[in-house]
Homo-oligomer: A and B are copies of this chain.
């Protein structure tokens, strides 16, 4: 088996583990993975528009609306019309939301974080470099958006 296959297999393992991760998170926090990601974005920016969430997550606004609905009904975030532009809705974190962020992820990432931090310094550096490299190789957006000519030309219909 060649290296390419090995790398694909490892990738698949990563994906699989992560899916599982997400399901456990759902269990543990009462939030689903998608809802949690929204919550993280809100927390990260303090206040954020639906539009920006949709762009950052790569989903449509309609979907954002429905995710935010769920978070609102759980009291995790709240909507507020923007004053600057009254078409916009700013989504902000509540106490509960902040609390959920603090609690939930910890349990989930802990294992990975611990293992990662147990690596030697140069090992960590190597892992980060490799992950970033892989991310770049996979990231279609990069390629679409970049002026690079040699890749992806044949792909056609998008």
Known: A140-B21, A140-B115. A11 touches B14 (CB 8 A): yes
Interface string of A118-155 (1 = CB under 8 A from B): 01000111111111111111111111010000011001
What per-residue 1/0 map shows which CB atoms of A1-37 lie under 8 Å from chain B? 0011011101101111111110110010000000000
Q: Are B141 and A20 in contact, with the CB atoms below 8 A?
A: yes
Judge whether A7 and B131 touch: CB under 8 Å: yes
Min C-beta distance of A132 to chain B, whole Å: 5
List, in ascending order, chain B residues with CB within 8 A of A109's CB: 8
Instruction: Name the distance in Å between A156's Cβ and chain B's nearest Cβ.
Output: 9
Contacts A6-B128, A27-B158, A128-B7 given; does A21 touch B138 at CB 8 Å: yes
Contact with B along A74-111 (1 / 0, CB 8 A): 00000000000000000000000000000000010111
- Shortest distance from the beta carbon of A148 to any chain B beta carbon, whole Å: 10
14 residue pairs of the A-B complex, CB under 8 angstroms, read A3-B124, A8-B113, A10-B134, A11-B14, A14-B14, A15-B18, A17-B135, A17-B138, A17-B139, A24-B141, A27-B158, A111-B143, A126-B126, A131-B131
Residues of B within 8 A of A17 (CB): 135, 138-142
Closest 6 CB pairs of A and B: A130-B130, A10-B131, A17-B138, A13-B135, A115-B137, A127-B130
Query: From residue A135, how far is it (CB to closest CB) to chain B in Å?
Result: 4
